[in-house]
């Protein structure tokens, strides 16, 4: 699909980033300064895997920020079904009534992970957990600032970037220039597809502000999450001097050395539900399932114990 015209990218939203040190994730509140309408992007639901405790501290901080700045929440957005943190989109939807949205190809991720988790056949894989599913090239607005939706898969099947005025929220395609790019070895991921998605982003105007979904603070530096297209093209450790083929070889070799994210198997069963926990069972408690030895996740098939 042709790239959206640059005229649609006029406007400079106010962007506040909130770094979650537990998952190295960045959440965003994006506000149109003219209308004070706001969107939340990639909110985190706090989860302690050791105790199973869930809290809404991080999500509530986003709402507090919006209230303190006299803004009105208009959208709750996820760029993709995250593998490293639980999404707070469902909680925020229930708390505020504001619609939640993500990319349209989330239905493919739902189908894939329904099988991995062996969820019931009637588990909906039509994206109905969200109020809106965005296709590539769709537009919506945060106040008076038009937002272009760019399909940017590779890290996941369903990843999208949101380009709001001069700001692009690029999830886990590129990180800060000293950190490089996202892994592409999750089920449905593809390093070659990731390279091509990154090229879509690098075709944006050089001054476009890029806001990434994670920062891993290399060398112990403080967390950072804002760069520009020009900075990425000049300095990204995984892009400078690379061709498509050399990038794919580098990315695939690197991915083979990486462990799975600590919360991956916890998070996906929540995130394919639009950021909602599984329903309570007959004792009133909610449970997360951990598949043992699922193919494609780096584990071995579980052998039956000897009788």
Residue 84: predicted pLDDT = 93
| Residue 279 in domain | no
Residue 82: predicted pLDDT = 95
Residue 293: predicted pLDDT = 81
Is-contact 86 267, C-beta < 8 A? yes
pLDDT digits (tens, 9 = 90+) for 191-208: 999 999 999 999 999 999
> 144 falls in which pLDDT band (50, 70, 90)?
very high
Is-contact 62 27, C-beta < 8 A? yes
Cα–chain center distance at 138 = 18
Question: Rounded to whole angstroms, how far apart are CA atoms 153 and 190?
Answer: 8
Q: Are strands 25-31 and 37-41 parallel, antiparallel or unpaired?
A: antiparallel
Residue 301: predicted pLDDT = 53
Statement: residue 5 has pLDDT above 50:
no
Global pTM value? 0.93
pLDDT digits (tens, 9 = 90+) for 68-107: 999 999 999 999 999 999 999 999 999 999 999 999 999 9
Number of domains in the chain: 1
| Residue 116 in domain | yes
| Residue 287 in domain | no
Full residue range of the structural domain in which residue 206 is found: 10-267
| Residue 198 in domain | yes
| Residue 25 in domain | yes
Q: List the CATH number of the domain containing 53.
A: 3.60.15.10
| Residue 276 in domain | no
| Residue 278 in domain | no
| Residue 94 in domain | yes
């Amino acid at each position: 699909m042709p790239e959206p015209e640059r005229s649609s990218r006029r406007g400079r939203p106010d962007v506040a980033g909130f770094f979650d040190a537990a998952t190295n994730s960045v959440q965003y509140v994006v506000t149109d300064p003219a209308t004070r309408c706001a969107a939340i992007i990639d909110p985190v639901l706090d989860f302690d895997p050791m105790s199973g405790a869930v809290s809404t501290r991080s999500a509530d901080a986003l709402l507090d920020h919006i209230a303190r700045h006299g803004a009105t929440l208009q959208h709750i957005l996820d760029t993709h079904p995250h593998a490293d943190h639980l999404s707070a989109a469902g909680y925020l939807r229930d708390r505020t009534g504001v619609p939640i949205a993500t990319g349209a190809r989330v239905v493919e991720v739902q189908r894939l992970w329904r099988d991995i988790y062996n969820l019931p056949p009637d588990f909906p894989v039509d994206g109905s957990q969200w109020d809106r599913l965005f296709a590539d090239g769709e537009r919506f607005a945060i106040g008076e600032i038009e937002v272009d939706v760019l399909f940017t898969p590779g890290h996941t099947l369903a990843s999208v970037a949101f380009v709001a005025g001069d700001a692009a929220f690029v999830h886990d395609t590129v990180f800060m220039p000293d950190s490089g790019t996202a892994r592409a070895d999750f089920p449905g991921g593809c390093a070659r597809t990731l390279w091509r998605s990154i090229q879509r982003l690098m075709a944006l105007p050089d001054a476009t502000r890029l806001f990434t979904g994670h920062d891993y603070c290399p060398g112990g530096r403080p967390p950072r999450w804002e760069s520009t297209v020009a900075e990425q093209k000049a300095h990204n450790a995984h892009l400078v001097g690379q061709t498509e083929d050399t990038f794919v070889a580098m990315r695939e070799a690197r991915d083979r050395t990486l462990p799975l994210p600590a919360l991956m198997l916890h998070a996906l069963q929540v995130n394919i539900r639009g950021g909602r926990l599984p329903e309570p069972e007959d004792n009133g408690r909610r449970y997360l399932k951990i598949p043992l030895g699922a193919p494609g996740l780096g584990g071995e098939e579980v052998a039956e114990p000897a009788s």
